Structure 1
């Protein structure tokens, strides 16, 4: 039956009236339980409104009553109460509504370009098997980009290398390699692969909690400082430096197994490293943010890379010095 209310073709939820007037981009966010997805979204939104938004002349606003309500709750919990978000609701208890935002960027002479960003967060429990992932396949197949969060503390080599007293370790969850393989299988089934069988949806793979890796990183590592975003342009040379360091770290942690899987499954993929909080939660209160509040590092990089691929933000290209070893990103 026809209805004057616009609804999403995937989940059938109502869409805000201004959603359809925007150029929309669906960003799917995936990762195992405890990889920090909900915290990541909360911090990313705050950075887009403040530090990063200022650099690019951007404005970000939640769209629709549901997203506006959740947006306020996220900000109050994390930045006022210093409480970390709860775990994402698994699909067995109901579909997780995406968060809808309008991103406004400068365009032309004193003009603006408005893009609807759709952040879709899949619970870790829903990524343990291809069967449970079917609940979310429509969103994944419609996504313009996917951000896969990889918790390094899930890797035995990292746990063994960190010094004693590094804090409690999370329980073991679905390996990132398995999640990536399952996502690729789902997307191939929806014809999102090219002639060589690799999925054509761009994939940003972000190693999270880099603050816990400080003992294992060089003090001058690009993973430990934010990108400058000089002139409101995404630094492609900086992205390549981060990609190479993350790839090198993975080589040491899992003999490069994850990267080899990614190269074979995705045609456009880049590695990132980020910390949503800047330091671990207090040992005596693991559900709290650090007392200084979130001090994020590079949380915006995966999204900005995806936006740059679509021509939505300007990109500062590096000098043409030949292809980087192992680089599969566009």
Structure 2
């Protein structure tokens, strides 16, 4: 009977798709309607000052913010309202092109706030942006590199997808500044400097199933120091409030109660220890002042994965009794999710890391519970071992680095979750 009832039970109907989606610019993180985009002309003219080459002040202001060179002699900006309705081109109810007064078509859609070119899919699919945040020394740059490398070489294949940089420039920068130093030379990446802003790294996780819209990954490598500096976060942290998901990095060495114990237990090979660490709770409190306080009820419902980094170091705390963590804990074992999220495996890891954080940093755990309504806890090792003198002692062997990302895929309804068979 149950078989027949399952056979004839109607599948729940998917919510109807809206005609278009608000766009979140993957460069400056401003949010706007597809109707607000502007265009860059596809040509220039010397006999018409409206179409003459010139400086784009908004674009150069954006570039200056990241220490990039100004660009000169750019084609003109065209505003849709200056173009007759019949000369506006729509695709799937989204404005995607203009034919100008000279009969020339342009499809170069720009963000109205920073004049960077928008992805082709902007407005047609949700602008789901995932942000990595965390205090200084939490290893965000190393984690980002390890995660992207793993997504491209392993995870994407497990979910019938591909992970690709948005353009050739991002591809080149990521490869030369992050991936090659770490994966080919074993050099540890230097900490992002507060005064040196990194332009966002933008990747798309594109599924072979065309029914699934691509997921835009924006890794905005905010210097960790900025995460506890109110003014800095206000200037460079706008991406957080328009994110669809957050990866919140916590370094176990930030937690005062276990820092000394890890140091003592590691013994002769201390690896990378830094004298100054920001407490994880300070990061949350700064975020609260910047944007969470303005959310309804003073909380945020953005799915947030709390990611305990450098999990390989926790072997120094492990014992049979599980005073902090058990010797045979799942967090030390690599795990691959394929086609779906293994909910039993997730529940085990989430429970273990929650209990660990509760033991070692109750104020942080309490603060997260108060301000975040949708959280999950993970432990990852981007490298697999603790570097010594800025050098890896072996091959990069990531452990569970993609699990928090896979959870966000699940929360954003890109993949399903199943209990173990």
TM-score under structure 2 normalisation?
0.67
Contact conserved, 2:152 with 2:162, CA < 8 A, in 1? yes
Q: Does 1:234 align with 2:341?
A: yes
Q: Which residue of 187, 198, 216 maps to 1:83?
A: 187
CA distance in 1, matches of 2:112, 2:417: 33
Asked whether the equivalents of residues 206 and 302 of structure 1 are also in contact (C-alpha less than 8 Å), the reply is yes
The 2-side partners of 1:318 and 1:180 are apart by 34
Show CA shifts across 1:74-109 (max 9, x none): 22111112222222242x34x43211112122437x
Distance 1:278 1:287 in 2: 14
Compared with structure 1, are the counterparts of its residues 114 and 153 closer, same or farther at alpha carbon in structure 2 (3 Å cutoff)? same
What is the CA–CA distance in structure 1 between the aligned matches of 2:411 and 2:332, rounded to whole Å? Answer: 24
Show CA shifts across 1:17-64 (max 9, x none).
536366432111111222111110111011111222232222111012
RMSD: 2.4
> Is 1:165 aligned to residue 268 of structure 2?
yes
Shift of 1:298: 1.0
Q: 1:113 to 1:155 in 2, by over 3 A?
A: same
Of stretches 266-275 and 72-81 in structure 1, the one that deviates more from structure 2 is 72-81
Question: Which structure 1 segments of 5+ residues have no match?
Answer: 320-330
Alignment of 1:91-240 (within 5 A): 92-93=195-196, 95-107=197-209, 113-162=213-262, 163=265, 164-168=267-271, 169-189=273-293, 191=294, 193-194=295-296, 196-217=297-318, 218-230=326-338, 232-240=339-347
**Is the 2:142–2:189 Cα contact (8 Å) retained in structure 1?**
yes
Which residue does the alignment assign to 1:35?
138
Give yes or no for contact 2:38–2:110 (8 Å, CA) kept in 1: no
Q: Secondary structure at the match of 2:132?
A: strand
Which of 263, 281, 287 matches 2:390?
287
SS at match of 1:39: helix
Aligned equivalents of 1:84 and 1:227: distance in 2? 24
Q: Choose from 297, 311, 329 the match for 2:399.
A: 297
What is the Cα deviation at residue 186 of structure 1? 1.7
CA distance in 2, matches of 1:318, 1:181: 38
- CA deviations on 1:152-205 (whole Å, 9 max, x unpaired) are 11223222323133514222222111101211332235x4x33x4321222111
**What is the match of residue 162 of structure 2?**
59
TM-score normalised per structure 1: 0.84
| Aligned counterpart in structure 2 of residue 248 of structure 1, from 355, 368, 373 | 355
Which 5+ residue runs of structure 2 have no aligned equivalent?
1-36, 41-107, 319-325
Relative contact order (C-alpha < 8 Å, sep 6+): which is higher? 1
